Amino acid sequence: MIDIPKKTKERTMLVAINLRDVSKHMVEEHLSELEELADTAGAESIFKIVQARNRFDSAYYIGKGKAEELAQLVELNDIELIIFDDDLTAVQVRNLENIFNRKIIDRSGLILDIFALRAKTKEAKTQVELAQLQYLLPRLTRAWTHLSKQYGGIGTKGPGETQIETDRRFIRNRISHLKVKLKKIESQRNTQSSNRKNYVRVSLAGYTNAGKSTLFNLLTNSDVFAENKLFATLDSTTHAIDLNRKQKMLISDTVGFIRKLPPHLVASFKSTLNEVREADIILHVIDMAHHFYEDHLKIVDDTLKEFGSKDKIEIKVFNKVDAVKDKSKIDFIRNNYNNSVIISAQKGINISKLKELLIDAAERSFVEDEISIAIEETKLASQIHSLAEVISTRYDNGSVMLNIRSSKENNDRIKKLLGKNDKNKIEYKKEE
């Protein structure tokens, strides 16, 4: 029997800058979150360093003197990896690597590493690979510095530079290929969406580790992977739920948000995050036990606005009430947030109230209309059937009268289609 040694965690130093306009407590919170990210990736944080500065140093991020000081600490304590809390430029990475002679990564690089670790489905793996390549492309000089370090001397720079250019071409070609692949995935998702016209679509959104997957499992009686770690799940999962006979619902669990989320990652996960954009109702899950829950709430709200989801019906779900010791916080949330509910997904507390809010929101998210189109408008009729449930049809003097039921979003699309042809009209019959 062969004993396989367990992989030890990399000894890591975390580094952040406290700018003048940012509070010390906020920087410490950012660094604590960076430590959680590092732990999720499999690193052990030995030191957490905060340097107060008026601005970032363009060449060394923390300044050359501070970098040289930390390099001694790194050497004495066998630190293998240094993680910086902000994105570094290619110049900063190269300069810092020269001083530390260790691996250097920034927050975005760390998040991408976690996403690569967590990605399970073909779609998620494709999205992560695209984001990683877009992140790596401007930093290729770092990836090939081993050529001069390993061999040194004359005759090594030329091949190194040639290899870099070759690699850049390969990466650009690969990025183009992945973008085409993701467009096909997005097209497939759009086809799936058209088949869900009769369903109220609910999407879970929230800061990472707020308890979305736990709530999803509770509402759908499923077993989606849930863990008390950042970015435990990446893949969008959709299940049907039956809260009452009148409304059929589909609920989707999506990737969590985080501050300083790499823009490449947001762009790559567009097809997954479209679940949020196309939802009729958003359940915004918040970890109310967290000290900075209001900050997390704002980050998610701002991100949802960027996705064009500001006009959606949103229910704020304050989760983990069982972990809150301060009753005044519960009273504050109850008195200051409309259309919200306080729950514990882990303990099943107040879930019935959440379901009541969901049913009420679902009834408000669908519209019934009676529309009239010319009988020869067969293409238009087909488009309307794809966007709405046609409850009844009757014919009257060369026109077709359709009684339809659709989501507000699809109802707006139908209005635009009808507005392009003066022969058609829409009459508001009933709105729920």
User: Can you give the pLDDT at residue 351?
Assistant: 94
Domain residue spans of the chain: 10-117, 122-190, 197-349, 366-431
How long a stretch of residues is the chain?
432
Q: How confident is the model at residue 431 (pLDDT cuts 50, 70, 90)?
A: very low
In angstroms, the CA 278 to CA 205 distance is: 13
Residue 5's pLDDT is 47
Mean pLDDT of 400-415: 80
Structure token pair of residue 34: 């960076």
Q: What fold does the segment set 366-431 form as a domain?
A: Alpha-Beta Plaits (3.30.70)
Bridge-based pairing of strands 249-253 and 237-241 is antiparallel
Q: Give the CATH superfamily of 10-117.
A: GTPase HflX, N-terminal domain (3.40.50.11060)
Half-sphere exposure of 33 (CA within 13 A, CB side): 28
* Mean of all residue pLDDT scores within the chain: 81
pLDDT for the residue 287: 96
What are the structure tokens assigned to 151, written together? 């061999």
Q: Among positive and negative, which fits the CA dihedral 43, 44, 50, 51?
A: negative
48: which strand partners? 14
- Residue 432's Cβ-side half-sphere holds a number of Cα atoms within 13 Å equal to 18
Tokens of 185: 């995935």
Q: What is the pTM of this model?
A: 0.76
The pLDDT score that the predictor gives to residue 231 is: 61
Does 324 score more than 80 pLDDT?
yes
Vertex 321 angle, CA 201 and 345, to 5°: 40
CB 287 within 8 A of CB 293: yes
More confident residue, 79 or 231: 79
For residues 103, 106, 111 and 115, what is the CA-based torsion angle, rounded to 10 degrees? -40
Evaluate whether 388 touches 429 at the Cβ level (below 8 Å): no
* Contact yes or no for 36/103 (Cβ under 8 A): no
Per-residue b/e over 357-389, b at no fewer than 16 CB within 10 Å? Answer: bbbebbeebbbbbbbebeeebeebbeebeebbe
Kindly state the greatest CA–CA separation across the chain. Answer: 90
Give residue 117's pLDDT band: very low, low, confident or very high (50, 70, 90): confident
Q: Dump the DSSP string for 49-93.
A: EEEEESS-BTTTBS-HHHHHHHHHHHHHTT--EEEESSPPPHHHH
pLDDT at residue 421 is higher than 60: no
10-117 and 366-431 in the same fold:
no
| Residue 331 banded pLDDT, cuts 50, 70, 90 | very high
Report the 10 Å Cβ neighbour count for 414: 22
Look at residues 261, 203, 263 and name the one whose alpha carbon lies nearest to residue 231. Answer: 261
**Tokens at 54, concatenated:** 């008026």
pLDDT given at position 406: 75
How far is Cα of residue 145 from the mean position of the Cα atoms in its chain? Answer: 33
DSSP conformation class of 339: S
Dist. CA 2–CA 231, nearest whole Å:
34
How crowded is the C-beta side of 170, counted as CA atoms within 13 Å?
8
DSSP 344: B
Cα distance between residue 76 and residue 242, in whole Å: 60
- Identify which has the larger pLDDT, 268 or 291: 291
pLDDT tens by residue, 59-76: 999 999 999 999 999 999
* CB distance 346 to 320 below 8 Å: yes
Q: What percent of the chain has pLDDT over 70?
A: 80
Per-residue b or e along 235-268, where b marks 16 or more CB atoms closer than 10 Å to that residue's CB: bbbbbebebeeebebbbbbbbbbbbbbbebbbeb
Q: Return the CATH superfamily for domain 197-349.
A: P-loop containing nucleotide triphosphate hydrolases (3.40.50.300)
